């Protein structure tokens, strides 16, 4: 049985290397031209491609985190703004302001209107 295993080992190893090489080529094609400008593709070693992929994915992750933070901040601002608008619609001061503005149509008085 051990003799049957020996001839298969080089074949399995060859298939493993082919899979690794194929995956590295795919990574290189996914990196895009901005990364490949650094070195011509024929001079890149596998380690270089892996390192560039890690760098690229790290940048994507950071951008994604920044976008999430900005989106959360925007959503909080919008929520706060919506809440303030809803409260203003139902507050007694809001109806007083509307009544005061519609009664007094003088541009001078409208510009100087104060709630006190």
What is the model's pTM? 0.53
- Token pair 């994604």 is at which residue? 64
Distance (Å, whole) CA 28 – CA 41:
8
- Please, are residues 57 and 30 in contact by the beta-carbon 8 Å criterion? no
Half-sphere exposure at residue 104, Cβ-oriented, CA atoms within 13 angstroms: 13
Residue 29: pLDDT band with limits 50, 70, 90? confident
Q: Is 32 left (phi over 0), alpha (psi -120 to 50) or beta?
A: left
Q: For 38-82, what is each residue's pLDDT tens digit?
A: 666 667 889 988 998 998 899 999 999 999 999 888 888 888 777
């Amino acid at each position: 049985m051990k003799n049957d295993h020996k001839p298969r080992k080089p074949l399995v190893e060859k298939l493993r290397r082919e899979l690794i090489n194929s995956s590295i080529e795919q990574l290189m094609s996914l990196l895009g031209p901005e990364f490949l400008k650094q070195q011509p593709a024929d001079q890149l070693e596998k380690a270089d491609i892996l390192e560039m992929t890690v760098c690229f994915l790290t940048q994507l992750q950071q951008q994604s985190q920044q976008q999430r933070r900005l989106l959360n901040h925007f959503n909080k601002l919008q929520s706060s703004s919506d809440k303030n608008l809803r409260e203003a619609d139902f507050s007694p001061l809001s109806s007083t302001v509307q009544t005061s503005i519609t009664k007094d149509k003088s541009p001078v008085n409208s510009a100087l209107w104060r709630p006190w």
